[in-house]
Amino acid sequence: MGMYSYRAVGPAGMTEGQIEAGGRQEALRLLEGRGLRPIRVDDSVARPAQASGSGWNLLPSQVTARDLERFTRQLSSLLAAGVPLSRCLSILGRDGSRPAAVAAWRQLRDMVVDGVALADAMARQPTVFPRVYTAMVRAGEAGGFLPLVLGQVADFQARDKELRSRLVSAMTYPAVLLLLTIAVLIFLMTFFIPRFQVMFEGLGAPLPALTNVIIAASEIVRSYGFIVTGVLIVGVVAARQWLASDEGRRAWQSLVLKMPVYGPLAGRLAATRFCRMLGTLTKSGVELIAALQIARESLGNQILADALTTAIERVRKGESLAKGLALCPDLFPPTIIEMIAVAEESGNLDTELVRLAEESEKELDAQLRLAVALAEPALLFIMASFIGTIFVGMVLPIFTIQDYIK
């Protein structure tokens, strides 16, 4: 008998503890007998040996998208080479470069060795393997083409990561300009204006209204800057909690879709991810209705997902996919609907959806470049306007003082 540490989901939520059993399989049966759904079961004796001797762990504790993509591609290559699944997982469990990834692959191997199907074992680690990932692996296991499915999953992950990196790169420069504008304004308010204020007070002449407003703003920043910063931090925390709720998330996502430039970009991004995921799922052998339900969760916008729910119900009742998706004009313009209809008629839906995603990515990239090209001069204009207003406000008293002396 040995002690096994476990993490499981029960009626009261996530729970952790230890259980005594003659082996991992018996520990799993005992936990399931208690009404728990095991996520992780490890030999508690072996766990201290994996800990750092200093008690510090400076590495990230989660499996990253890069780790998962690398694991998927290597597993696909090993399986295609004829290596048994359990041995593949053992090899990958020794080949990981990060402790979090190594632990996840070893847990997966232990469950597979104990007789759990690969997709079911992945489903027990939802923080590591997304639902769409598990669904595609389950289809590959059932159809006998798991290496092919894993290769398609790895390709999807790579393209999705590339698209996200384009978005981040496109928004980096405007964000830097915005932060620079805020930093310059803080410097002017706290260092530059007070020196002019002392000079103006010594002259004793009346100041223009614009100069008084700027000096008053400077005094507020210097006197209540920490309080304002604290209020902003509390506001940000409260806003994040509100956005985490279903009501707040829906309100924010609805506002995003109504924005003049970013709204259409958000809709195009959601449609691109949906088409690529649906095409990959159907190509992997996933049934259309199930693929639609899984791909709906990839949209990242609950408002669009709700609209797509009605379309899925229409498809479930026997209508074509094109007619169902036509109910979501914010996601799918008429040209895309026509292409999908033709693809359905020719029986080439999966390939056409992937091709549509690739074309949409090119258009999205062009739109992102245009949006950034418009945002850069707009931010520069705003920055110059604030700085110019402060400069004019500090120069005006010079002319007023001359008139006062005359």
Structure-model confidence comparison of residues 38 and 248, the more confident one: 248
As a CATH number, domain 152-406 is: 1.20.81.30
Same fold, 1-46 and 63-129: no
- If you average pLDDT over every residue of the chain, what do you get? 76
Report yes or no: 68 and 129 within 8 Å, Cβ to Cβ. yes
Q: Which of 218-222, 231-235, 253-257 reaches the highest mean pLDDT?
A: 231-235
Q: For position 95, what pLDDT does the model report? A: 67
Nearest CA to 40 among 12, 76, 4?
Answer: 4
pLDDT band at 1 (very low <50, low <70, confident <90, very high): low
Please tell me the least confidently modeled range out of 115-124, 167-176, 194-203.
194-203
Residue-wise pLDDT tens digits, 307-320? 788 888 888 888 88
From CA 390, how far away is CA 379, in angstroms rounded?
Answer: 17
Instruction: Go through 363-384 and write b for each residue having 16 or more CB atoms within 10 A of its CB, e for each that does not.
Output: ebeebbeebeeebeeebeeebe
Nearest CA to 257 among 303, 222, 310?
Answer: 303
Q: For position 234, what pLDDT does the model report? A: 92
Nearest CA to 180 among 389, 381, 375, 383?
Answer: 383
Q: For position 52, what pLDDT does the model report? A: 36
Q: For position 8, what pLDDT does the model report? A: 74
Q: Write the single-letter amino acid at 42.
A: D
CATH architecture of 1-46: Roll (3.10)
Q: For position 54, what pLDDT does the model report? A: 32
Q: Is the pLDDT of residue 268 over 50?
A: yes
Q: For position 327, what pLDDT does the model report? A: 79
Nearest CA to 202 among 403, 399, 406, 397?
Answer: 397
Report yes or no: 289 and 312 within 8 Å, Cβ to Cβ. yes
DSSP string, 130-192: -HHHHHHHHHHHHHT-HHHHHHHHHHHHHHHHHHHHHHHHHHHHHHHHHHHHHHHHHHIIIII
**In terms of C-beta density within 10 A (0-12 exposed, 13-18 middle, 19 or more buried), how is residue 185 classed?**
middle
Q: For position 40, what pLDDT does the model report? A: 64
Q: Which helix (H) or strand (E) holds 16?
A: strand 13-21
- pLDDT > 90 in the chain, percent: 0
Angle at 370 between CA 369 and CA 376, to 5 degrees: 85
For 10, the 3-state DSSP assignment is strand
Residue-wise pLDDT tens digits, 54-95? 333 333 447 787 888 888 888 888 888 888 888 888 888 876
* Per-domain residue ranges of the chain: 1-46, 63-129, 152-406
Q: For position 60, what pLDDT does the model report? A: 41
From CA 311, how far away is CA 321, in angstroms rounded?
Answer: 8
Homologous superfamily in CATH for domain 63-129: Type II secretion system (T2SS), domain F (1.20.81.30)
